[in-house]
Amino acid sequence: MMKIIAVDDEPFALDDLRQAIKDALPDCELSCFGTASEALRYAAETAPDIAFLDISMSGMNGLALAKRLKDLSGKTNIVFATGFSEYAVDAFSVQASDYLLKPVTREAVARAVEHLREPVAEKSGQRVKVQTFGNFEVFVDGKPLTFSRIKTKELLAYLINRRGAYCNNDEITAAIWEDKADSQALKSHFRHLVADLTKTLTEKNIGSMLVKKHGHLAIDPGTFQCDLYDFYNGKADAVNRYAGEYMAQYSWAEFINGYLEDML
Total domains present in the chain: 2
Residue 181 lies in a domain: yes
Strand partners, 212: 217
- One domain for residues 242 and 171: yes
**What's the whole-number average pLDDT of the chain?**
90
Which CATH number characterizes residue 41's domain? Answer: 3.40.50.2300
Q: Which of 89, 114, 139 is the last residue of a domain?
A: 114
Boundary of a domain, candidates 83, 114, 145:
114
Residues 240 and 205 both lie in one domain: yes
In a domain, 121, yes or no: no
The CATH number of the domain holding residue 151 is 1.10.10.10
Is 234 a member of any domain? yes
Within a domain: residue 120? Answer: no
Could you list the residue range(s) of the whole structural domain that residue 188 is in? Answer: 128-263
Q: Are residues 185 and 221 in the same domain?
A: yes
Structural domain includes residue 201: yes
Q: Does 7 lie in the same domain as 77?
A: yes
Q: What local confidence, expressed as pLDDT, does residue 82 receive?
A: 87
Same domain, 160 and 244: yes
Within a domain: residue 122? Answer: no
Which residues touch 113 (CB under 8 Å, ≥6 apart)?
A: 24, 25, 50
Q: How far is the CA of 185 from the CAs of 74, 141, 169, 188, 211, in angstroms?
A: 55, 36, 14, 5, 24
Mean pLDDT of successive 10-residue stretches along the chain, which has 264 residues: 93 96 89 96 91 93 93 91 75 82 93 84 69 95 93 97 94 90 90 96 93 92 92 86 94 93 85
The answer on 140 and 78 residing in a single domain is: no
Q: Is residue 209 situated within a structural domain? A: yes
**Residue 190 sits in the same domain as residue 222:** yes
206/223 Cα distance (integer angstroms): 8
Record the pTM. Answer: 0.56
pLDDT score of 89: 67
82 in the same domain as 194? no
Closest by CA to 167, choosing from 218, 213, 210, 212, is: 218
Question: Among 46, 80, 114, which residue terminates a domain?
Answer: 114
* Sign of torsion over alpha carbons 162, 167, 171, 175: positive
In a shared domain, residues 134 and 100: no
Based on the domain organization, do 59 and 12 belong to the same domain?
Answer: yes
Considering the domain architecture, whether residues 104 and 212 belong to the same structural domain is answered as no
From residue 206, how far is each of 126, 145, 193, 203 by CA, in Å?
A: 10, 11, 17, 8
168 and 239: one domain? yes
Q: Is residue 7 part of a domain?
A: yes
pLDDT digits (tens, 9 = 90+) for 120-159: 765 445 689 999 999 999 999 889 999 999 999 999 999 9
